[in-house]
Structure 1
Amino acid sequence: MGMTDRYGNDLSTGSSVARDHYDRGVALFLAAEFGASEAFGDAIAADPEFALGHAALARALMMEARMGDAKAALARATELAGRGSDRERQHVAALGLLLAGKPAEARAAVLSHVRTHPRDALVAQLCTNVFGLIGFSGEVGREAELLAYTSALLPHYGEDWWMMSVHAISLCETGQIEASMQLMEQALALNPRNANGSHFKAHAQYEAGETQAGRVYLGDWLERYDERAVLHGHLSWHCALWALHAGDSEAMWQAVDSGVAPGAAKGLPINVLTDTAAILYRAQIAGLAVDPDRWARLSDYAARCFPETGQSFADMHAALAHAMAGEGARLAKIVETAKGFAGDLVRPVARAWGAIAREDWAGALTDLSQAMARTERLGGSRAQRDLLELTYVNVLLKLGRTDEARRSLLTRRPVLADAPPVAAFQ
């Protein structure tokens, strides 16, 4: 019998050393721990002809925003995959579509692949989570589709900490908070250092309104998490958000400046941009003073990292940064050129940010109203889209429509209704 990986998939390497490093890398990658690319590099060193070692390295490098190196690794994987099995060729091809910037084709390839190879976790992973190919599809009903996807995969994995955790976030985003929390705890009991699991638990605690418990849990967990790991900045954002909700502005700014903002965070540019823009504006809504230099630096970062539109979730937050920084030309470019999976919604939201910056509250309401019924299409989690929910409520309050603002929270985001982090409610 030939080599198999930790999920029982046949491997085309004959080196047990390469296999062991590969398995270690897969576990690190699925847990969002630091060191996956080094592990996959060790696998390739043990067997330079190991196609999936190169493919996995490419995937890990993508998550480190090292796109040139990722393309080189994937090119080598593609060259070698022709000697392997159909599964390995399909595995490499799916990653190739992702790296080539063809998300719709990559999504179709993944969905086809997992019907035959449901335990090919590095491929299956591409469609999990709110930041995956389903989450960023821009389609109505993406949360239900994500739940259907992980529900179909779950029976194939048994008591597997990774699959349990990604199914738990699907439950969370469809409002099944108690079931999500129970499954998340089971997953974390199997692997307490699963950063994806701790992240998803933070979402469930947020949805349950467990601010203090969430702050304690995640604050303790982060002390042992490598700051170079991909989720460190985003988990710091969760800590900053809870500190804001608790009225602890000192802790909020400390989290922002040490782990969230450009220059501090070491994660993907999309997380740095979206998390920083969201916490800065949510802080403003809550009544905190935000130094204009923060907005100016973030606008420059957005212009540098996302010079063209096409990633709708990033574009929406870039527009916010440009509007708050007074960068009218940059904002206008997004309004005029927005494309991608939800470009039709980015445009009115971007116009609304501009109106808000001018304190044109009536204009902002007109533009925001075009997007509020379909915000899930813009991407992100419920917690992330609360930026729009709270902005909408704040605009209503600025127009003196207090009762309508309260109804909006009660009907759309009741978890925030008891103590909304909006200064105009005070």
Structure 2
Amino acid sequence: MQHDRYGNELTTDEGAAARAYSRGVDHVLGATHGADIAFAEAIAADPNFALAHIGAARAAMYAGDMAGAKAALGRAQALADGVSVRERAHIGIFALLLSGKPVEARAAVLAHVRTYPRDALAAQICTNIFGLIGFSGEPGREAALLAYTSALMPHYEGDWWMMSMHALSLCEVEQTAASLELMEASLALHPRNANGSHFKAHALYEEGRTEEGRAYLDTWMREYEPETVLHGHLSWHQALWAVEAGDWDAMWATYRGAIAPGASHALPINTLTDGAALLWRAEMAGADVPPEDWQRLSSFAAQTFPDPGQSFADIHAALAHAMAGDGTQLARFVDAGKGYAADLVAPIARAWKAVARQDWAGALEDLTPVMSAHVRVGGSRAQRDVLELTWLLCLMRAGQREEARRAAATRRPIFSPVAPIAAFS
């Protein structure tokens, strides 16, 4: 019997398989390149190692290969009779996840970690803003995420991965100083942990430290492989800071080289949401966005997220369609009735439609009621700033400039007194 890096028993007698599996898990946890290779090595060393097939499924998910993920899951399920109780439950969690049952998968993870808190690959499913808690659509999800990582932290003393996950939870509830301290400790243990660098970028963003953030990511990204899952999103952070600095050459170079459809190696949801948010935030800040960029992004959205259902993607698809002038595609989201936050998607889509025709009062009518609850659509505070900034823009354009300044000061102080909106100050 072998063990993984976290001390969990593994049903394999091959030390090489166990070591390769642990490397693969670390690649998943750190969002670094090589998970698929490591899990393939584990399977080659022991084809009957069920959890190595689950690892391969997880790596395929991050590569956007859902067919490959389901095939790997099937191979693991065929081996499930010969594994431990923990491993069988672990396989069952991924079966729920890959069957499109996020509510059931989340409940299964929460139950599982009470008994097996150090089963990191299973625990990871509910961490992060893009995990099952982050995309629950429930009020108070940020507090729920903090509670989840807080409960796990004592079981992971000195562990770089859990430090970075808990640091993000702290950041999302505005405890940025504590977040940065913990993130630095995580990165000291594993400097190439991409999740760590990502969440450090979030904390620096929340503190308005634009120049420091740009310098940090510009250096860190030099050795981060473009085909890795977080490369596109980390590039988005770089581009946002370029927007705030008014460095349009850097912003466009980053967008066209690493974020736009066809350039990004990220998952489709990141390509869509990062692309739409960046183009609109650049436009609000004074950039001229060529219509063809919106049209390409709208076409990408129509191919990858044609119908409502994934609310965070939906609000960005609606934005792309509105700015591209595709009323037919936009109408699907204006009438959204499906998705964990569908009740918010529809008014946001109507607001984008109004913004596109410069009906600022109409946009405010739809957007204002959403502002107290938009945490439910998912994403980080930084990502949801596309809504905060749009609301400020609409207030300004509707002649409510002083109200816009008060709103910035009370809701998002990092945008007061200067927000990245043309003529805000």
What TM-score results when the alignment is normalised by the length of structure 1? 0.99
State the distance in 2 between where 1:45 and 1:308 align: 40
Q: Distance in 1 between matches of 2:80 and 2:229?
A: 28
Match of 1:203 in 2: 202
CA offset at residue 418 of structure 1?
A: 2.7
Q: C-alpha displacement at 1:338, in angstroms? A: 3.9
What one-letter code is carried by the residue in structure 2 that aligns with 1:260? I
- Name the stretch that deviates more: 92-101 or 162-171: 92-101
Contact in 2 for aligned 1:309/1:339 (Cα 8 Å)? yes
For residue 102 of structure 2, what is the aligned residue in structure 1?
A: 103
Note the residue ranges of structure 1 that are not aligned, 5 or more in a row.
none
2:391 is the alignment partner of 1:392: yes
* C-alpha distance in structure 2 between counterparts of 1:109 and 1:307, whole Å: 30
Structure-2 residue corresponding to 1:183: 182
Please give the secondary structure, in 2, of the residue aligned with 1:287.
coil
Contact 1:397–1:424 (Cα < 8 Å) also in 2 = no
Q: Deviations over 1:4-26 (max 9, x none)?
A: 10000000011001001101111
**2:75 matches 1:76:** yes
Match of 1:289 in 2: 288
CA distance in 1, matches of 2:106, 2:81: 22
What is the distance in 2 between the residues matched to 1:37 and 1:147? 30
Aligned to 2:9: 10
**Deviation, structure 1 residue 300:** 0.2
Equivalence map 1:305-324=2 (5 Å)? 305-324=304-323
> What is the deviation of 1:46?
0.6
Q: Distance in 2 between matches of 1:134 and 1:185?
A: 25
Q: Once the two structures are superposed, what CA deviation does each residue of 1:151-196 show, in whole Å capped at 9, x if it has no partner?
A: 0000001100000000000000001000000000000000000000
- Aligned to 2:10, the other structure's residue is in SS state coil
Q: Counterpart of 1:339? A: 338
Q: Which residue of 1 aligns with 2:90?
A: 91
| Equivalent position amino acid for 2:314 in 1 | D
Match for residue 171 of structure 1?
170
Alignment identity in percent?
61
Displacement, 1:340? 1.0
Structure 2 runs not aligned, ≥5 long: none
Look up the match of 2:325. 326
Q: Provide the C-alpha distance between the structure 2 equivalents of 1:254 and 1:302, rounded to a whole number of angstroms.
A: 22
Whether the 8 Å contact between 1:21 and 1:43 is mirrored in structure 2 is: yes
1:216 aligns with 2:215: yes
For residues 30 and 105 of structure 1, the distance between their equivalents in structure 2, rounded to whole angstroms, comes to: 22
SS in 2 for 1:425: coil
Deviations, residues 236-274 of structure 1 (Å, cap 9, x unaligned): 000000000011111111111111110111010000000
What is the aligned partner in structure 2 of residue 410 from structure 1?
Answer: 409
Q: Provide the residue aligned with 2:255 in structure 1.
A: 256
Per the alignment, residue 379 of structure 1 pairs with: 378
1:423 aligns to what SS in structure 2? Answer: coil
Tell me the equivalent position of 2:66. Answer: 67
Match of 2:373, SS state, is helix
In the alignment, what sits opposite 1:273? 272
CA distance in 2, matches of 1:421, 1:338: 33
Work out whether residues 336 and 345 of structure 2, in 8 Å CA contact, stay in contact via their aligned partners in 1: no
User: Shift of residue 135 of structure 1?
Assistant: 0.2
CA contact (8 A) 1:398 1:424 kept: no
Matched residues in 2 for 1:251 and 1:215: separation? 11
Query: Contact conserved, 1:285 with 1:394, CA < 8 A, in 2?
Result: yes
- The residue that corresponds to 1:238 in the other structure is 237
CA distance in 2, matches of 1:99, 1:241: 33
Question: For the residues of structure 2 that align with 1:149 and 1:294, how far apart are their CA atoms?
Answer: 40
Contact 1:258–1:265 (CA under 8 A) maintained in structure 2: yes
2:405–2:417 Cα contact (<8 Å) kept: no
Q: Secondary structure at the match of 2:79?
A: helix
TM-score normalised by the chain length of structure 2: 0.99
**Contact residue 315 and residue 338 of structure 1 kept, 8 A:** no
Letter in 1 for 2:27: L
SS at match of 1:373: coil
The alpha-carbon deviation at position 96 of structure 1 amounts to 1.0
> Which deviates more, 270-279 or 414-423?
414-423
Query: What's the offset of the Cα at 1:114?
Result: 0.2
**Match of 1:43?**
42
SS in structure 2 at match of 1:56: helix
Alpha-carbon distance between aligned partners in 1 of 2:165 and 2:380, rounded to the nearest angstrom: 13
Separation in 1 of the partners of 2:8 and 2:102? 25
Residue 304 of structure 1: aligned partner: 303
Once the two structures are superposed, the pairs formed by residues 140-159 of structure 1 within 5 Å of their partners are 140-159=139-158
**8 A contact 1:298–1:321 mirrored in 2:** yes
- 2: distance between equivalents of 1:289 and 1:396? 21
CA distance in 1, matches of 2:68, 2:161: 27
Q: 2:364, 2:192 → 1: CA distance? A: 43
Q: Equivalent residues in 2 for 1:26-41 (5 A)?
A: 26-41=25-40
Count of equivalent residues: 425
Cα displacement (A) at 1:337: 3.1
